[in-house]
Amino acid sequence: MKTLIRFFLALVCVAAVSVLYVLLCSLACLRPCCRAARRWDGPAYAAPAVLSFQGYSRVPDGQPLQRAPCRRCAVVSSSGQMLGSRLGQAIDGQECVLRMNHAPTAGYEEDVGTRSTVRVVSHTSVPLLLRNQPYFFQQSQETVYVIWGPPKKMSREKGGSTYRALLKVMETYPRLQIYTLTEEKMAYCDDVFQNETGKNRVKSGSFLSTGWFTMILAMELCERIRVFGMVSDSYCREKNHTSVPYHYFEKGRLDECRMYLVHERAPRAGHRFITEKAIFSRWAKRRDIVFTHPSWAGGSGGCVGGSGGTPTPCQRVGDGAGPTEPPQLQAPSCLGHKGTLPHHQMDVCCGIQHSVT
């Protein structure tokens, strides 16, 4: 009998200790858990954990991009719309700033700011960065560079020319953070384009723009996105739209709307700038994306608008017709060629000097 009583008392003690342990653990863990569950803009915001972003491969070791997500991001267009905007302070006030290609900040600080958290760069713009390495790589070693391009240029295994150039840069500036998009990520971006437009990117003769890759990265990285200097898909159809340079740092060069129309109408090897902006407009309905200078509401429709919220295939991918074509502009005569002009020849014909073969 005494043995049973002792056994019962032992069970009671074990149960009491277990309950006490659970209560103490709950009290110790409750506050951190509550803080983590709060909105990012709350007064007691706790820094998010470091995340791994698949599809972005570090040069040279191939590790994925790892960093904390950003609460508020500025995506800065390279458009001439930025000239005279005086938005530099607002841009630098965002937690993370994403820029594109070789767009400089020096000399344009009042309009475009000074900070660069991430710079998304086309393989065709890498040589332009290499010409000014002290500015881009020595002074901006805190910037994360994300390079995109076709496999033949970017391949690690086959030693693509762009990848080899990036390796040499890393030898000179070993602290740099350079990442390339993997082949799988490039294919994913193609799939997004096809899902949004109903058109196969390759078969439709389309090239994705750096803006496309930047917006996809921004939606992965950022909670809130404020886009500076990007016009809507309908902007160039407006009768009294402002004529600005294609790039803010190339004053007096090609007109932005003229450039957009040239590429949108090209049967092959054209960036579909207008189509992409119509897609961005629809994304803004589902995500916290705001377009500034010019300001415009997401979901303006363009060629991707559908009834009842259902997207319809874009009719303006390389067919030279459809609702996104600015009717008051005429395509340059260089597009009258039968067949296909190579991408760099089309740009030269239209007055764009890349100096890249």
At 155-192, the pLDDT tens digits run 998 899 999 999 999 999 999 999 999 999 999 999 99
| pLDDT (0 to 100) of residue 49 | 87
Question: Which pLDDT score is estimated for 84?
Answer: 96
Q: How far apart are CA 215 and CA 221, in angstroms?
A: 10
In this structure, CATH architecture of domain 51-349: Alpha-Beta Complex (3.90)
Q: Report the distance separating Cα 110 and Cα 107, nearest Å.
A: 8
Residues in the chain with pLDDT < 70? 1-48, 297-357
Cα separation, 246 vs 222, in Å, equals 26
Q: Is residue 330 a contact partner of residue 258, using CB atoms and an 8 Å limit?
A: no
- How far out from the chain centre does Cα 150 lie? 17
On whether the CB atoms of residues 80 and 200 are closer than 8 A, the answer is: no
Calpha distance 18→12 (Å, rounded): 10
| pTM exceeding 0.75 | no
pLDDT of residue 4: 56
Q: Give me the sign of the Cα torsion angle 242, 244, 246, 249.
A: negative
- Whether residue 294 is preceded by a cis peptide bond, meaning omega within 30 degrees of 0, is yes
CB 58 within 8 A of CB 211: no
Question: In whole angstroms, what separates CA 269 from the centre of its chain?
Answer: 21
Cβ atoms of 112 and 88 within 8 Å: the answer is: yes
Phi and psi, residue 226, nearest 5°: -115, 115
Q: Which residue has the tokens 């569950």?
A: 37
Residue 300's pLDDT is 39
Residue 348 has a pLDDT of: 32
Q: How far apart are CA 56 and CA 66, in angstroms?
A: 9
Task: Please count the residues of the chain.
Answer: 357
H-helix or E-strand spanning residue 85: none
Cα–chain-centroid distance for residue 67?
16
H or E stretch including 164? helix 161-172
- Which pLDDT belongs to residue 333? 30
- Report domain extents, the chain: 51-349
- Secondary structure letter of residue 296 according to DSSP: B
SS3 assignment, position 288 = coil
**What pLDDT sits at residue 251?**
78
